[in-house]
Amino acid sequence: MIREGLSGPIEVNGETYNNTMPALTNLSDTEIADVTAYVTGLAKGGAAKPTTPPKPVEKGNVEEGKALFEGSTGLANGGGACVGCHVAGSVGNLGGGVFGPDLTKVGSRLGGEAGLSAWLVNPPSPTMTPIFATKALTPEEIADLTAFLVDAPKQKAPSSSVDVMSIAAAAGLVVLIAGMALAFRGCARTTRTA
């Protein structure tokens, strides 16, 4: 399960879960053995001590994370900017997509920095897995994006929820139709007088 992941319904202690656990391809054999021993120890009433010390979560930079999120700084391995599908914190409306969920509170939903950075190592969502399977985020990018997303609830959200691009497109369409109507009216007069 750790190496290859798991998806679909499973029953644990009489409760059914239906989610996706991504393959954790970045773990060494020793780390997999540690995780297995820890989980087995929990089932027996006491967790085993890991043989390798846990890696500390690298502290990221909020501004660098924002630049990565909005795409003003490209991702090292060529992945798409988060803003293509998401909004978060101060990045919204004209600066954010609508295909994915609002990530402003994702840090608290995933358990803070540790949970969020672990999620970004190998995003398990069905939409993000194929995007980042061959274009993984670097540890520095994960740290910076984590810092930005954990800070997002404190940021000032855009003042309007109205999509300015939609309004501009509608106004442009009205101007185009009015111009076509005037041009057609001019052509109709020319045709009648001839």
Q: How far is CA 144 from CA 103, 132, 155, in A?
A: 15, 17, 16
What pLDDT is attached to residue 183? 81
Question: What pLDDT is stored for residue 164 in this prediction?
Answer: 61
Asked if the model's pLDDT at residue 119 lies above 80, the reply is yes
Mean predicted confidence (pLDDT) in 167-179: 85
- pLDDT range class, residue 63, cuts 50, 70, 90: very high
0.85 surpassed by pTM:
no
Segment holding 52, helix H or strand E: none
For residue 176 the two structure tokens come to 């185009």
Q: What tens digit of pLDDT does each residue of 130-162 get?
A: 888 888 899 999 999 999 999 999 988 765 545
Cα–Cα dist 132/62, whole Å? 22
Query: Which of 9-13, 158-162, 163-167 is least confident?
Result: 158-162
Whose structure tokens read 């021993």?
A: 37
Look at residue 37 and tell me whether its pLDDT is greater than 70.
yes
Nearest alpha-carbon partner for 3 in 19, 21, 17? 21
Is the pLDDT at 42 greater than 80? The verdict is no
Single-letter amino acid, residue 127: T
